[in-house]
């Protein structure tokens, strides 16, 4: 018998054992992944429900006590609704979703619940108001009937003398530039609103802080197609996304982020980024003014509040602030101070700084650093409604003088 046959036999047995071990390891990993996925999902739902329950149980602006019965089911729906489809130019939009508290249509738009108009007269075409923004405008933390869009629709139904249709174009994690592109796409399609409202600030700051460059989407490099060419096609398509999305990896990543937080940035870089955020925002407002002239669409731009700008803070809001690193808080403060002091923005007729709209409110209005309670949404909608009604009245006066 040839001498190499025993060696070959041992080699084959070793390979067979290796494949067995690898197979068992893969099965164990998949089982662990499934188990962790369930545990993480339930833990996240329970944590979100607790936050929402605490926030909802605080007094609303009118002094009434809000019910918290909906929070547990809502937390589950919120997690399940965080699914996205590709969107040209803007990268992503919400996938359709149907639930008890959260509904997204086939175009990726969150449902807006409208009350019947109380003071509208005549039967002409309704004034159409399109709202653009990130997750706060989309309505994270709020049921369909209590988003900023729905609250604005109800406010206008009670106060406007014409019928008003409000459409929520808010998308999770959008920055101002993505909203501008969304509006341009609608205008190109001939779907031109009478009034476009853009609600921004938080995502523009966080994107600049995360990407170290202003004007890019959040997680820019996770979406950048150039990055795709840097990896082997099979590796990128089959292995990398699955590992990134694995619950085990996600849990480890969450623990690391909780322990270390977002990386701090140097003072000089923070100054540069804050100036860039303002410059990009100014440039987008100039483009919006051009759209106003060419498409006959009035625009309103709002710089939103965050928990870092609220005074005084409720106890739960102070706990939220304490969770974030000093570097991030200082950066937000730097950008917000620049926005408030900028003369060019102040002179722009379409810009409104409402970052201090909650000043003097002692009740809890934030349940994290930017997302609002349903009572907070009502206050923001009430402030926006004042400007929308003014534009409606101005247009009515122009139409009257034309006749």
- What count of residues does the chain have? 403
User: Cα(174)–Cα(92) distance, rounded to whole angstroms?
Assistant: 9
| DSSP state, residue 304 | -
Residue pair 71/49 in contact by the 8 Å Cβ criterion:
yes
Q: What angle do helix axes 148-159 and 374-402 make, rounded to 10 degrees?
A: 50
Maximum average pLDDT range among 255-259, 366-370, 379-383: 379-383
Instruction: State the total domains in the chain.
Output: 1
Q: What angle do helix axes 176-188 and 267-295 make, rounded to 10 degrees?
A: 20
CA-based angle 202:205:208, to the nearest 5? 145
Distance of CA 212 to the CA centre of its chain: 19
Band of pLDDT at residue 244, cut at 50, 70 and 90: very low
Return the beta strands (E) in 102-202 as ranges.
103-104, 127-133, 164-168, 195-200
296 half-sphere exposure, CB direction, 13 A CA radius: 4
Band of pLDDT at residue 32, cut at 50, 70 and 90: low
Alpha carbon separation from 269 to 58, 80, 211, 276, 310 (Å, rounded): 39, 38, 12, 10, 26
pLDDT digits (tens, 9 = 90+) for 49-62: 566 666 666 655 54
Of the two residues 134 and 25, the one the predictor is more confident about is 134
* Interstrand relation of 103-104 and 127-133 (parallel, antiparallel or unpaired): unpaired
Three-class secondary structure assignment of 244-288: HHCHHHHHHHHHHHHHHCCCCCCHHHHHHHHHHHHHHHHHHHHHH
pLDDT at residue 364, rounded to an integer: 95
* pLDDT of 229 higher than 50: no
* Owning domain of residue 145: 4-402
pLDDT at residue 133, rounded to an integer: 98
pLDDT digits (tens, 9 = 90+) for 310-338: 999 999 999 999 988 899 999 999 999 99
For the chain, what is the mean pLDDT? 83
% the chain with pLDDT above 70: 74
Contacts of 356 (CB under 8 A, 6+ apart): 305, 309, 311
| DSSP state, residue 372 | B
The CATH number of whichever domain residue 289 belongs to comes to: 3.40.50.1110
Of 61-75, 185-199, 246-260, 280-294, minimum mean pLDDT range: 246-260
Band of pLDDT at residue 397, cut at 50, 70 and 90: confident
| Predicted TM-score (pTM) of this structure | 0.81
User: Cα(325)–Cα(170) distance, rounded to whole angstroms?
Assistant: 28
């Amino acid at each position: 018998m040839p001498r190499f046959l025993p060696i070959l036999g041992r080699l084959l047995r070793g390979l067979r054992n290796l494949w067995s071990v690898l197979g068992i390891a893969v099965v164990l990993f998949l089982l662990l992944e499934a188990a962790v996925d369930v545990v993480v999902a339930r833990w996240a739902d329970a944590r979100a429900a607790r936050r929402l329950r605490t926030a909802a149980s605080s007094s609303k602006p009118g002094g009434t006590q809000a019910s918290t019965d909906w929070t547990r089911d809502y937390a589950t729906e919120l997690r399940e609704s965080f699914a996205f489809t590709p969107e040209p130019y803007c990268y992503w939009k919400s996938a359709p979703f149907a639930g008890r508290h959260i509904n997204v249509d086939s175009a990726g738009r969150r449902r807006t619940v409208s009350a019947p108009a109380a003071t509208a007269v005549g039967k002409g075409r309704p004034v159409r108001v399109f709202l653009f923004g990130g997750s706060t405008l989309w309505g994270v933390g709020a049921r369909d009937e209590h988003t900023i869009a729905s609250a604005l629709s109800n406010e206008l139904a009670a106060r406007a003398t014409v019928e008003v249709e409000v459409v929520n174009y808010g998308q999770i994690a959008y920055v101002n530039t993505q909203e501008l592109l969304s509006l341009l796409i609608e205008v190109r399609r001939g779907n031109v609103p009478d009034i476009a409202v853009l609600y921004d600030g938080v995502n523009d700051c966080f994107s600049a802080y995360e990407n170290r460059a202003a004007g890019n989407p959040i997680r820019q490099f996770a979406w950048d197609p150039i990055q795709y060419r840097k990896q082997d096609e099979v590796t990128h398509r089959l292995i990398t996304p699955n590992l990134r999305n694995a619950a085990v990896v996600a849990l480890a990543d969450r623990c690391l982020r909780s322990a270390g937080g977002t990386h701090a940035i140097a003072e000089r870089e923070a100054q540069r980024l804050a100036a860039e955020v303002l410059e990009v925002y100014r440039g987008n407002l100039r483009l919006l003014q051009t759209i106003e002239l060419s498409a006959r669409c009035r625009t309103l731009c709002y710089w939103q509040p965050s928990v870092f700008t609220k005074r005084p803070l409720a106890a739960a809001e102070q706990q939220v602030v304490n969770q974030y690193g000093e570097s991030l808080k200082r950066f937000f403060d730097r950008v917000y101070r620049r926005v408030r002091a900028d003369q060019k923005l102040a002179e722009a007729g379409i810009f409104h700084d409402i970052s201090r709209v909650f000043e003097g409110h002692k009740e809890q209005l934030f349940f994290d650093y930017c997302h609002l309670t349903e009572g907070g949404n009502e206050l923001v909608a009430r402030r926006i409604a004042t400007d929308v009604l003014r534009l409606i009245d101005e247009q009515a006066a122009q139409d009257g003088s034309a006749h």
